[in-house]
Structure 1
Amino acid sequence: MKLHPLIKNVLYNFDQIEERTKELAKEISKYYDEQEDIQDNNVLLVGILKGCVPFMGVFLKYFDYNCETHYMVVSSYLGSTKSSGEPKILLDLNVSIKDKDILIVEDIIDSGITLKYVKEYLFFKGAKTVKIISFLDKKEGRKVELKPDWYCFDVKNEFVIGFGFDINEKLRNLPYVGVCDIEKLETWDWTLKKEDWDYS
Protein backbone atom coordinates (compact mmCIF):
# COMPACT_ATOMS: atom_id res chain seq x y z
CA MET A 1 0.00 0.00 0.00
CA LYS A 2 1.35 3.40 -1.00
CA LEU A 3 1.17 6.12 1.60
CA HIS A 4 -0.64 9.35 0.86
CA PRO A 5 1.92 11.87 -0.47
CA LEU A 6 1.20 14.21 2.44
CA ILE A 7 2.40 11.57 4.91
CA LYS A 8 6.02 12.10 5.87
CA ASN A 9 6.15 8.92 7.94
CA VAL A 10 3.73 6.53 9.62
CA LEU A 11 3.66 6.59 13.41
CA TYR A 12 1.19 3.78 14.03
CA ASN A 13 -0.33 1.39 11.50
CA PHE A 14 -3.77 -0.18 11.78
CA ASP A 15 -2.56 -3.46 13.27
CA GLN A 16 -0.70 -1.60 16.02
CA ILE A 17 -3.72 0.60 16.66
CA GLU A 18 -6.16 -2.30 16.90
CA GLU A 19 -3.92 -4.38 19.15
CA ARG A 20 -3.31 -1.55 21.61
CA THR A 21 -6.96 -0.45 21.59
CA LYS A 22 -8.09 -4.02 22.26
CA GLU A 23 -5.68 -4.23 25.19
CA LEU A 24 -7.01 -1.03 26.73
CA ALA A 25 -10.66 -1.91 26.09
CA LYS A 26 -10.20 -5.12 28.06
CA GLU A 27 -8.38 -3.26 30.85
CA ILE A 28 -11.12 -0.64 31.10
CA SER A 29 -13.87 -3.27 30.98
CA LYS A 30 -12.19 -4.98 33.93
CA TYR A 31 -11.93 -1.64 35.76
CA TYR A 32 -15.68 -1.03 35.51
CA ASP A 33 -16.47 -4.65 36.35
CA GLU A 34 -14.66 -4.15 39.65
CA GLN A 35 -16.54 -0.98 40.60
CA GLU A 36 -19.45 -1.56 42.97
CA ASP A 37 -21.36 1.70 42.56
CA ILE A 38 -21.86 2.14 38.80
CA GLN A 39 -25.43 3.34 38.30
CA ASP A 40 -27.45 0.62 36.53
CA ASN A 41 -24.15 -1.10 35.70
CA ASN A 42 -24.00 1.20 32.71
CA VAL A 43 -21.33 3.60 31.48
CA LEU A 44 -21.95 6.52 29.16
CA LEU A 45 -19.30 6.71 26.48
CA VAL A 46 -19.03 10.29 25.26
CA GLY A 47 -17.13 10.55 22.00
CA ILE A 48 -15.70 13.92 21.08
CA LEU A 49 -16.46 14.36 17.39
CA LYS A 50 -15.22 14.18 14.79
CA GLY A 51 -11.76 12.82 15.38
CA CYS A 52 -12.82 10.08 17.80
CA VAL A 53 -14.87 8.11 15.24
CA PRO A 54 -12.29 5.57 13.94
CA PHE A 55 -10.77 5.02 17.39
CA MET A 56 -14.13 4.73 19.11
CA GLY A 57 -15.29 2.26 16.48
CA VAL A 58 -12.38 -0.06 17.27
CA PHE A 59 -12.73 0.50 21.01
CA LEU A 60 -16.40 -0.49 20.96
CA LYS A 61 -15.55 -3.81 19.31
CA TYR A 62 -13.65 -4.88 22.41
CA PHE A 63 -15.28 -2.92 25.25
CA ASP A 64 -17.13 -5.60 27.20
CA TYR A 65 -19.27 -3.59 29.61
CA ASN A 66 -22.82 -2.22 29.42
CA CYS A 67 -22.68 1.18 27.79
CA GLU A 68 -24.49 3.89 25.90
CA THR A 69 -22.79 5.92 23.19
CA HIS A 70 -23.26 9.66 22.98
CA TYR A 71 -21.34 12.39 21.23
CA MET A 72 -20.30 16.00 21.61
CA VAL A 73 -18.70 18.44 19.23
CA VAL A 74 -16.27 20.66 21.11
CA SER A 75 -13.65 22.56 19.21
CA SER A 76 -10.85 25.02 19.75
CA TYR A 77 -9.33 24.52 16.28
CA LEU A 78 -12.10 25.44 13.82
CA GLY A 79 -10.14 24.46 10.72
CA SER A 80 -6.65 25.57 11.73
CA THR A 81 -3.71 23.43 12.82
CA LYS A 82 -3.20 25.23 16.12
CA SER A 83 -5.59 25.54 19.03
CA SER A 84 -7.19 28.93 19.66
CA GLY A 85 -7.39 28.04 23.35
CA GLU A 86 -11.08 28.97 23.47
CA PRO A 87 -13.24 25.81 23.60
CA LYS A 88 -16.74 26.01 22.20
CA ILE A 89 -19.49 23.39 22.52
CA LEU A 90 -20.95 23.07 19.04
CA LEU A 91 -23.08 20.00 19.82
CA ASP A 92 -24.16 19.17 23.36
CA LEU A 93 -25.45 15.92 24.86
CA ASN A 94 -29.22 15.43 24.62
CA VAL A 95 -29.54 13.13 27.65
CA SER A 96 -29.38 13.68 31.37
CA ILE A 97 -26.03 12.71 32.86
CA LYS A 98 -26.94 13.34 36.50
CA ASP A 99 -25.20 10.74 38.70
CA LYS A 100 -23.91 8.91 35.63
CA ASP A 101 -20.48 7.40 35.13
CA ILE A 102 -18.90 8.81 31.99
CA LEU A 103 -15.98 7.71 29.88
CA ILE A 104 -14.84 10.40 27.45
CA VAL A 105 -13.40 8.97 24.23
CA GLU A 106 -10.97 11.45 22.67
CA ASP A 107 -8.67 11.30 19.67
CA ILE A 108 -5.80 13.33 21.12
CA ILE A 109 -4.92 15.40 24.18
CA ASP A 110 -2.76 18.32 23.11
CA SER A 111 -2.95 21.51 25.16
CA GLY A 112 -5.55 19.84 27.37
CA ILE A 113 -7.60 23.04 27.47
CA THR A 114 -10.58 21.67 25.56
CA LEU A 115 -10.75 18.37 27.43
CA LYS A 116 -10.36 20.04 30.83
CA TYR A 117 -13.26 22.30 29.88
CA VAL A 118 -15.38 19.31 28.84
CA LYS A 119 -14.58 17.36 31.98
CA GLU A 120 -15.53 20.29 34.22
CA TYR A 121 -18.68 20.87 32.17
CA LEU A 122 -19.80 17.26 32.60
CA PHE A 123 -19.29 17.45 36.34
CA PHE A 124 -21.26 20.71 36.34
CA LYS A 125 -24.10 18.87 34.57
CA GLY A 126 -24.16 16.30 37.41
CA ALA A 127 -21.92 13.44 36.29
CA LYS A 128 -20.78 11.22 39.17
CA THR A 129 -17.48 10.18 37.61
CA VAL A 130 -15.67 11.27 34.46
CA LYS A 131 -12.83 9.16 33.09
CA ILE A 132 -10.84 9.80 29.92
CA ILE A 133 -9.42 7.50 27.30
CA SER A 134 -7.44 9.15 24.53
CA PHE A 135 -6.05 7.61 21.40
CA LEU A 136 -2.95 9.83 21.43
CA ASP A 137 -1.30 11.86 24.18
CA LYS A 138 0.80 14.83 23.08
CA LYS A 139 2.39 15.69 26.41
CA GLU A 140 4.71 18.34 24.96
CA GLY A 141 1.71 20.46 24.00
CA ARG A 142 0.10 20.50 27.46
CA LYS A 143 -0.88 23.91 28.82
CA VAL A 144 -3.06 22.81 31.73
CA GLU A 145 -2.85 20.10 34.36
CA LEU A 146 -4.66 17.17 32.79
CA LYS A 147 -3.86 13.50 32.35
CA PRO A 148 -5.91 10.81 30.61
CA ASP A 149 -6.90 7.83 32.70
CA TRP A 150 -5.89 5.64 29.77
CA TYR A 151 -4.30 6.32 26.39
CA CYS A 152 -2.97 4.26 23.52
CA PHE A 153 0.15 6.02 22.30
CA ASP A 154 2.43 8.95 22.94
CA VAL A 155 3.02 11.41 20.13
CA LYS A 156 5.55 14.21 19.79
CA ASN A 157 4.66 17.82 19.07
CA GLU A 158 3.98 17.17 15.39
CA PHE A 159 0.97 17.67 13.16
CA VAL A 160 -0.58 14.23 12.64
CA ILE A 161 -3.15 13.11 10.09
CA GLY A 162 -5.09 9.93 9.39
CA PHE A 163 -7.27 7.61 11.48
CA GLY A 164 -9.56 10.46 12.53
CA PHE A 165 -7.08 13.32 12.31
CA ASP A 166 -7.79 15.76 9.50
CA ILE A 167 -6.60 18.63 7.40
CA ASN A 168 -9.63 20.86 6.91
CA GLU A 169 -11.89 17.78 7.32
CA LYS A 170 -9.89 15.71 4.81
CA LEU A 171 -7.82 12.51 5.28
CA ARG A 172 -9.60 11.31 8.42
CA ASN A 173 -10.13 8.02 6.57
CA LEU A 174 -6.47 7.00 6.24
CA PRO A 175 -6.03 3.62 8.00
CA TYR A 176 -2.95 4.78 9.92
CA VAL A 177 -1.63 7.82 11.78
CA GLY A 178 1.25 9.68 10.22
CA VAL A 179 3.17 12.93 10.41
CA CYS A 180 2.00 15.50 7.89
CA ASP A 181 4.53 16.87 5.41
CA ILE A 182 3.87 20.55 6.01
CA GLU A 183 6.02 21.68 3.07
CA LYS A 184 4.01 19.59 0.59
CA LEU A 185 0.78 20.69 2.23
CA GLU A 186 1.47 24.33 1.33
CA THR A 187 1.22 23.59 -2.39
CA TRP A 188 -0.98 20.48 -2.40
CA ASP A 189 -3.68 20.39 -5.08
CA TRP A 190 -6.73 18.73 -3.53
CA THR A 191 -8.38 18.33 -6.94
CA LEU A 192 -5.79 15.80 -8.13
CA LYS A 193 -6.88 12.20 -8.67
CA LYS A 194 -4.84 9.36 -7.16
CA GLU A 195 -3.25 8.49 -10.49
CA ASP A 196 -1.82 12.02 -10.67
CA TRP A 197 -0.29 12.11 -7.21
CA ASP A 198 3.42 12.76 -6.93
CA TYR A 199 4.89 10.24 -4.47
CA SER A 200 8.43 11.61 -4.63
Structure 2
Amino acid sequence: MLKHNLVKEIIITEEQIQKRVTELAKEIETYYQNIEKPLILIGILRGCLPFFADVMMKLNIECTTEFMYVESYLGQTSPTIEPRIKFDIFADIKDRDVLIVEDIIDSGKTLIKLVEHLTQKQPKSIKILTLLDKKAKRIVDLEADWFGFEAPDHFLVGYGLDYQEILRNLPYIGIADLEKIKALKNKS
Protein backbone atom coordinates (compact mmCIF):
# COMPACT_ATOMS: atom_id res chain seq x y z
CA MET A 1 0.00 0.00 0.00
CA LEU A 2 1.47 3.34 -1.04
CA LYS A 3 1.50 6.11 1.53
CA HIS A 4 0.32 9.49 0.26
CA ASN A 5 3.05 12.15 0.43
CA LEU A 6 0.88 14.29 2.78
CA VAL A 7 0.63 11.43 5.29
CA LYS A 8 3.34 10.96 7.93
CA GLU A 9 2.34 7.45 8.90
CA ILE A 10 -0.42 4.94 8.17
CA ILE A 11 -1.89 3.90 11.50
CA ILE A 12 -4.86 1.76 10.39
CA THR A 13 -4.67 -0.18 7.14
CA GLU A 14 -7.48 -0.81 4.69
CA GLU A 15 -7.47 -4.49 5.72
CA GLN A 16 -7.75 -3.61 9.42
CA ILE A 17 -10.65 -1.26 8.68
CA GLN A 18 -12.57 -3.85 6.65
CA LYS A 19 -12.04 -6.56 9.27
CA ARG A 20 -13.33 -4.25 12.02
CA VAL A 21 -16.29 -3.07 9.92
CA THR A 22 -17.36 -6.70 9.48
CA GLU A 23 -17.09 -7.30 13.24
CA LEU A 24 -19.07 -4.14 14.04
CA ALA A 25 -21.82 -5.05 11.56
CA LYS A 26 -22.21 -8.46 13.23
CA GLU A 27 -22.38 -6.86 16.71
CA ILE A 28 -24.98 -4.34 15.54
CA GLU A 29 -27.17 -6.86 13.76
CA THR A 30 -27.08 -9.10 16.85
CA TYR A 31 -28.09 -6.19 19.06
CA TYR A 32 -30.97 -5.16 16.76
CA GLN A 33 -32.07 -8.63 15.64
CA ASN A 34 -35.51 -8.39 17.26
CA ILE A 35 -36.58 -4.86 16.34
CA GLU A 36 -40.02 -4.52 14.78
CA LYS A 37 -39.28 -1.80 12.21
CA PRO A 38 -36.17 -1.25 10.09
CA LEU A 39 -33.25 0.36 11.89
CA ILE A 40 -32.69 4.00 10.89
CA LEU A 41 -29.04 4.71 10.14
CA ILE A 42 -28.22 8.41 10.36
CA GLY A 43 -24.90 9.31 8.77
CA ILE A 44 -23.15 12.52 9.77
CA LEU A 45 -21.82 14.06 6.56
CA ARG A 46 -19.33 14.17 5.01
CA GLY A 47 -16.73 12.12 6.80
CA CYS A 48 -18.96 9.16 7.56
CA LEU A 49 -19.58 8.20 3.92
CA PRO A 50 -17.05 5.34 3.42
CA PHE A 51 -17.65 3.90 6.89
CA PHE A 52 -21.43 4.33 6.61
CA ALA A 53 -21.56 2.58 3.23
CA ASP A 54 -19.31 -0.29 4.31
CA VAL A 55 -21.25 -0.94 7.54
CA MET A 56 -24.61 -0.68 5.79
CA MET A 57 -23.60 -3.17 3.10
CA LYS A 58 -22.52 -5.71 5.72
CA LEU A 59 -25.67 -5.48 7.88
CA ASN A 60 -28.04 -8.42 7.53
CA ILE A 61 -31.01 -6.58 9.01
CA GLU A 62 -33.49 -4.19 7.44
CA CYS A 63 -32.42 -0.57 7.65
CA THR A 64 -33.17 2.81 6.14
CA THR A 65 -30.78 5.70 5.67
CA GLU A 66 -30.83 9.36 6.59
CA PHE A 67 -28.11 12.01 6.70
CA MET A 68 -27.31 15.13 8.66
CA TYR A 69 -24.67 17.79 8.14
CA VAL A 70 -23.18 19.62 11.09
CA GLU A 71 -20.67 22.43 10.80
CA SER A 72 -18.03 23.01 13.45
CA TYR A 73 -14.56 23.09 11.86
CA LEU A 74 -14.76 25.84 9.19
CA GLY A 75 -11.64 24.54 7.44
CA GLN A 76 -9.49 24.31 10.56
CA THR A 77 -7.78 21.34 12.24
CA SER A 78 -9.84 21.67 15.42
CA PRO A 79 -13.41 22.80 16.09
CA THR A 80 -13.70 26.56 15.76
CA ILE A 81 -17.41 27.16 16.39
CA GLU A 82 -20.24 25.63 18.35
CA PRO A 83 -21.73 22.80 16.27
CA ARG A 84 -24.56 23.96 14.00
CA ILE A 85 -26.96 21.61 12.23
CA LYS A 86 -26.95 22.71 8.60
CA PHE A 87 -28.92 19.76 7.15
CA ASP A 88 -31.46 17.73 9.12
CA ILE A 89 -33.08 14.35 8.51
CA PHE A 90 -36.38 14.06 6.64
CA ALA A 91 -37.73 10.86 8.21
CA ASP A 92 -40.11 10.68 11.14
CA ILE A 93 -38.11 8.80 13.77
CA LYS A 94 -40.74 8.76 16.49
CA ASP A 95 -40.77 5.36 18.24
CA ARG A 96 -37.98 4.10 15.95
CA ASP A 97 -34.53 2.72 16.72
CA VAL A 98 -31.83 5.10 15.48
CA LEU A 99 -28.13 4.47 14.98
CA ILE A 100 -25.97 7.55 14.44
CA VAL A 101 -22.96 6.71 12.26
CA GLU A 102 -19.97 9.02 12.67
CA ASP A 103 -16.38 8.94 11.41
CA ILE A 104 -14.69 10.21 14.58
CA ILE A 105 -15.62 11.47 18.02
CA ASP A 106 -13.25 14.19 19.22
CA SER A 107 -14.58 16.57 21.88
CA GLY A 108 -18.03 14.97 21.69
CA LYS A 109 -19.76 18.36 21.44
CA THR A 110 -21.18 17.65 17.99
CA LEU A 111 -22.68 14.32 19.01
CA ILE A 112 -24.14 15.71 22.24
CA LYS A 113 -25.89 18.37 20.15
CA LEU A 114 -27.13 15.74 17.67
CA VAL A 115 -28.42 13.41 20.39
CA GLU A 116 -30.25 16.30 22.07
CA HIS A 117 -31.73 17.36 18.72
CA LEU A 118 -32.81 13.84 17.74
CA THR A 119 -34.21 13.11 21.23
CA GLN A 120 -36.75 15.88 20.66
CA LYS A 121 -38.09 13.78 17.76
CA GLN A 122 -38.97 11.01 20.27
CA PRO A 123 -37.18 7.96 18.89
CA LYS A 124 -37.46 4.64 20.70
CA SER A 125 -33.67 4.56 21.08
CA ILE A 126 -30.54 6.37 19.93
CA LYS A 127 -27.21 4.58 19.75
CA ILE A 128 -23.86 5.80 18.43
CA LEU A 129 -21.43 4.03 16.12
CA THR A 130 -18.12 5.69 15.31
CA LEU A 131 -15.14 4.46 13.39
CA LEU A 132 -12.66 6.34 15.58
CA ASP A 133 -12.91 7.31 19.23
CA LYS A 134 -10.42 10.03 20.22
CA LYS A 135 -10.91 9.96 23.98
CA ALA A 136 -7.95 12.31 24.61
CA LYS A 137 -9.99 15.20 23.16
CA ARG A 138 -13.30 14.44 24.95
CA ILE A 139 -14.72 17.38 26.87
CA VAL A 140 -18.28 16.09 27.39
CA ASP A 141 -19.66 12.97 29.04
CA LEU A 142 -20.32 10.84 25.97
CA GLU A 143 -19.41 7.31 24.97
CA ALA A 144 -20.01 5.53 21.69
CA ASP A 145 -22.08 2.36 21.87
CA TRP A 146 -19.77 0.83 19.25
CA PHE A 147 -16.45 2.05 17.92
CA GLY A 148 -13.91 0.72 15.50
CA PHE A 149 -10.60 1.94 16.88
CA GLU A 150 -9.27 4.20 19.61
CA ALA A 151 -7.66 7.17 17.88
CA PRO A 152 -4.37 8.75 18.89
CA ASP A 153 -4.21 12.48 19.56
CA HIS A 154 -3.06 13.43 16.05
CA PHE A 155 -4.77 15.02 13.06
CA LEU A 156 -5.98 12.03 11.04
CA VAL A 157 -6.93 11.73 7.37
CA GLY A 158 -8.24 9.03 5.07
CA TYR A 159 -11.30 6.78 4.87
CA GLY A 160 -13.58 9.82 5.08
CA LEU A 161 -11.43 12.00 7.34
CA ASP A 162 -10.16 15.11 5.60
CA TYR A 163 -7.95 18.13 5.75
CA GLN A 164 -9.96 20.98 4.20
CA GLU A 165 -11.86 18.47 2.02
CA ILE A 166 -8.79 16.64 0.67
CA LEU A 167 -7.46 13.17 1.52
CA ARG A 168 -10.91 11.70 2.33
CA ASN A 169 -10.47 9.15 -0.44
CA LEU A 170 -7.44 7.37 1.03
CA PRO A 171 -8.35 3.72 1.76
CA TYR A 172 -6.51 3.80 5.10
CA ILE A 173 -6.23 6.14 8.08
CA GLY A 174 -3.03 8.07 8.54
CA ILE A 175 -1.50 10.90 10.50
CA ALA A 176 -1.57 14.04 8.37
CA ASP A 177 1.75 15.75 7.71
CA LEU A 178 0.48 19.23 8.55
CA GLU A 179 3.85 20.86 7.84
CA LYS A 180 3.87 19.54 4.26
CA ILE A 181 0.19 20.44 3.82
CA LYS A 182 0.77 24.00 5.02
CA ALA A 183 3.88 24.37 2.83
CA LEU A 184 1.90 23.13 -0.18
CA LYS A 185 -0.97 25.47 0.64
CA ASN A 186 1.41 28.44 0.91
CA LYS A 187 2.73 27.71 -2.61
CA SER A 188 -0.73 27.94 -4.17
Number of residue pairs matched by the alignment: 188
| From 66, 89, 92, the counterpart of 1:96 | 92
Distance 2:174 2:90 in 1: 34
CA contact (8 A) 1:74 1:89 kept: yes
Q: Which residue of 1 aligns with 2:3?
A: 3
Label 1:189 to 1:74 Cα distance change in 2 as closer, same or farther (>3 A). closer
Label 1:188 to 1:91 Cα distance change in 2 as closer, same or farther (>3 A). same
Q: Which residue of 2 aligns with 1:195?
A: none
Label 1:143 to 1:70 Cα distance change in 2 as closer, same or farther (>3 A). same
CA contact (8 A) 2:157 2:163 kept: yes
Cα offset, 1:78, TM superposition = 2.0
Distance 2:13 2:138 in 1: 25
TM, length-normalised to structure 1: 0.90
Q: Which residue of 2 aligns with 1:24?
A: 24
Q: Helix, strand or coil for the counterpart of 1:55?
A: helix
For residue 37 of structure 2, what is the amino acid of its counterpart? N
Which is worse superposed, 59-68 or 130-139? Answer: 59-68
| From 104, 110, 116, the counterpart of 1:114 | 110
Distance 2:27 2:102 in 1: 17
For residue 13 of structure 1, what is the amino acid of its counterpart? T
CA contact (8 A) 1:85 1:114 kept: no
Distance 2:95 2:134 in 1: 31
Render the CA deviation track for 1:15-40: whole Å, top value 9, x for unaligned: 1000001001001101111x4xx3x4
Q: Which residue of 2 aligns with 1:187?
A: 183
Unaligned runs of 5+ in 2: none
Distance 1:127 1:171 in 2: 35
Cα offset, 1:2, TM superposition = 2.5
Q: Helix, strand or coil for the counterpart of 1:41?
A: coil
Distance 1:141 1:157 in 2: 7
Distance 1:138 1:183 in 2: 22
Distance 2:183 2:161 in 1: 20
CA contact (8 A) 2:37 2:96 kept: no
Identity of aligned residues (%): 45
Matches within 5 A, 1:109-148: 109-148=105-144
Unaligned runs of 5+ in 1: 193-200
Cα offset, 1:183, TM superposition = 1.3
